[in-house]
Structure 1
Amino acid sequence: MITELREKFNDKYSSENYEKLNSYFTDKFGDEVGFRMCETPIFFPKAFVGRLKQACDDVVSVLKRPDFKSITEEAIPKNCYVPNEDEHTNFLAVDFAVCKNDQDELIPQMIELQGFPSIFAFNIFKQQGYKEVFGLEENLSPYFTKSQDDYIQKLSNVILGGHDKENVILLEIFPEKQHTKVDFAATKEVFGIETVCITKVIKEGKHLFYRNDKGEKVHIKRIYNRLIFDEIDRWEPLDLQFRLTDTDVDVEWAGHPNWFFRISKSLMPYLESEYVPETRFLSSYDKYPSDLENYVLKPLYSFAGAGVVFNVESHHLEAIAQEEKHNYILQKKINYAPIVKAADEGDVKLEVRMMFTWADNQEKPELIINLCRLSRGEMIGVKYNKNKTFVGASIGFMEAE
């Protein structure tokens, strides 16, 4: 996207370097990388970064509304409500498609958002891999913080919350089966905390424990939560001593589960910004738009794009029961602009995730890093990009001021 840097990268690119990139991650994490790494990083021009930041500010302004909890209360399914919720989320991720306006300028258009962690730790190694393998300039950085050390410190403040690392766990279900497992390994390397499957959590009275590598029982004081209810439901029936909804446990949360629902697609109808496409609850329509081909249908309670209907027809809407329509949104379709010139051939679509932490002593979320995903398919995602090049996971670099 910075033309000079893009041309320089493409001129020097070779498939051998891409093999070196994959080897860089394999050497560090074995077969833990469960997704395709893209052949190229992204180079963000300053004007586009400014628009991304403004778009994020528009989102944050809604999170700061005094009535935020009341307008999002119904977003939490009754059977998924977790007690001891904190005042605000610890994590925020906002996804944007990269598009072009009528003036041929790059603009972000919001796809969705989540009050949930993303791959914060692996991003450290991802950017290092691109820099080392491709010899990127030292003044390029993916961080919105002062430095990498500052980035790690801000994450540590939120994840560890002042506790000893032995008393903090990353909670998942069957983590070895998750495609994000490389981030769990990276989290352990950076912060020293263990990843624990919820099936292994021991409950004694109101306290939680896990067993370390030595078989010793260790008190869990804080949970870095990476577990969502969809995943639990997928594996039921489960024999669990501890469930997220238990009311009698004494534990802190880094990423309380309720925020996954409060800050989600259900919030989009409340957002007003030039960077947010028109979005309405399906239940709010007396008459559906006549140009349904220009809309996308999304269920509120799904993860990783499950259940999204890209080519909407009237029968899709009619098939949804009236009492379920409040659980769906109809969003104006976004036209991704193929703006990343690949070194082999063609141009590629881009999606950017802006990632925040929000410590207890901060007034608002703080933007700290980004990640990128590239696609040649109709949508972003693995199934749309099989056997394609210059697609997959990446990260955006910015030139230092």
Structure 2
Amino acid sequence: MDIRDNYGAGKEAHLYGTNLGGWRGHEPWMSPLAGASNEWDARNILADRFGKEAVWELYNTYWDSWITETDFKNIRDAGLNCIRLPIYAHNHMDDEGNWRLDETGAIDLSRIEWTVNKALEYGLYTILDLHGAPGSQNGAHHSGRQNGALLYSSPLYQNQLVEFWEALASRFKDNAAVAGYDLLNEPSETFPRRMGDQVVSLYDRLYQAIRAIDPDHIIIMEAIWWWDTLPNPQQKNWENVVYSLHYYQWQNNEDFTVMKNAVDGWIQDAQKWGSKYNVPHFIGEFTLFGNAESWNYGLQQFTETGSHWTTWSYKVMGRNNWGMYNAAEQNNVADVATDDFNTIKYKWSQWNTPEYFSPNPTVINAMQKATSGRNLKRPTQAFSAKLEKQAEPEIVGMAN
């Protein structure tokens, strides 16, 4: 149940990090979007008002502001070695499946490549997380689209999904700074209820498509919300996979006893099912809310029991203790329905971390304590770019 370096034959490699949430896909509760409740509606509103190409000018301004080089340094300095990068398919492909191309005529994945390369400069691995799939994998605002989980009823969207992952695998198959491919964020045919067989079928189709291109990178599959929604990987002949769960204890979460019990339960389930399935446990998203004791206990327990984790999220507007960096002030929130073009562009240029966000010592201190002295594996320019499967252990994904 280990992730190991040196082609799977070396030392254990543990992933501890955070999500770059609210960046490549707005979530209005945590990032500066008003006038629409999701990306799909926001972009349609902006395109109707200003034209499709103007939408790209506005979004490029926002993307240049929300995450800059400073942020990768902040993440490294918190004792972390990994980022999970939420990706929204419509940043790269339109609703009909037409790719956005760069000036050379190639599929434009430049923002993803920039992130992977900048993370590498600061000793951070990147997990590629498809947060918003074509048609939406759950119909929730954080998928980018709220008019239904259309992915499951549309062969067109399913084909786009496969093509999207084939493009990512082709581009990153020889890049050992990418720690793994997180296939779908919180997928469910009946979200927020548990996922069913259609998700597992899509996972299998994506697994086969990716493995035809990239036999080596870790593939991450999310269980929503329980381990038993995923099959034993041996039944599917899935190799080099990691199972992921997201943990949010919504009730009485300022009470340390409540949170301690939640953490203990999550770990017990992970040890039971991880052993049964012989897969590592990756906590792709979680928060431990406002109690510092909960953060210290939770991160320490996750780390000491062998789990891999990325908090939700790196920076958050207007909600304390969800971010490593928080912005209490909610100025410069662009209203895409009423603000004029120049106002939106100006407001979206004003969200860099050093000027508008404050570090959250509750979270950062707990991270530093949990990872201190662990000699974390980090990618370097000297790594071997080709990954390779080993018979024992089966879980590999980071080259030395």
TM-score using structure 2 length = 0.30
TM-score using structure 1 length = 0.30
Structure (1/2) with the larger helix percentage? 2
